[in-house]
């Protein structure tokens, strides 16, 4: 039965994986956009104090990279546990099959989300570069 499902729906599962990665990248983009917009005055002030865009990016984006990596790793284990739990509930039905997530699949999931975040990070660096030094003065008056 599992071979038949893989044969008939295997291509759709690949599309679903990439759709999930796209959704994760969009979510990460929106979250980092919110972080940068809320810190726009701080970024402008640090530019006035002489920090370069690269230094500001390290300050703002550096901790975000660590958080994204930790959350990806933790949530891969949580999602595997949740799927195994849901699959156990389905064992009472006729025709169920076992749930299995390989270490390769988990690693692939983490890497795809992290590569997506690297793309978002490049957009964030451009957004930080576009913030001018006079932004803090415009918002205070």
The domain locations on the chain are 2-140
Each residue's pLDDT tens digit, 1-60? 567 666 777 677 778 888 888 999 999 999 999 999 998 988 989 998 899 989 998 988
Distances (CA, A) of 136 to 11, 40, 61, 133: 51, 8, 20, 7
pTM flag (> 0.85): no
Q: Rg of the chain over CA atoms, in angstroms?
A: 21
**pLDDT tens digit sequence for 88-124:** 777 777 666 677 778 888 898 889 988 999 999 999 9
Q: Where are the beta strands (DSSP E) in the chain?
A: none
Q: Is 135 exposed, middle or buried (0-12, 13-18, 19+ CB in 10 A)?
A: middle
Distances (CA, A) of 31 to 6, 49, 107: 35, 26, 23
| Rounded-to-integer distance, Cα 115 and Cα 72, Å | 12
Q: Is the distance from CB of 40 to CB of 11 less than 8 angstroms?
A: no
Cα–Cα distance measured from residue 77 to residue 57, given in angstroms and rounded to the nearest whole number: 30
Say how far apart CA 121 and CA 102 lie, in whole Å: 29
């Amino acid at each position: 039965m599992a071979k038949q499902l893989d044969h008939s729906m295997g291509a759709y599962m690949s599309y679903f994986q990439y759709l999930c990665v796209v959704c994760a990248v969009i979510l990460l983009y929106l979250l980092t956009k919110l972080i940068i917009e809320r810190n726009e005055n701080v970024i402008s002030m640090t530019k006035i104090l002489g920090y370069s865009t690269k230094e500001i990016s390290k300050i703002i984006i550096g901790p975000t990279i660590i958080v994204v990596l930790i959350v990806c790793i933790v949530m891969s284990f949580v999602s595997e546990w949740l799927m195994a739990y849901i699959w156990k509930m389905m064992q009472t039905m006729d025709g169920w099959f076992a749930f299995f997530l390989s270490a390769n699949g988990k690693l692939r999931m983490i890497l795809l989300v992290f590569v997506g975040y690297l793309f978002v990070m490049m957009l964030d660096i451009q957004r930080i570069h576009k913030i001018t030094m006079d932004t803090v003065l415009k918002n205070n008056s």
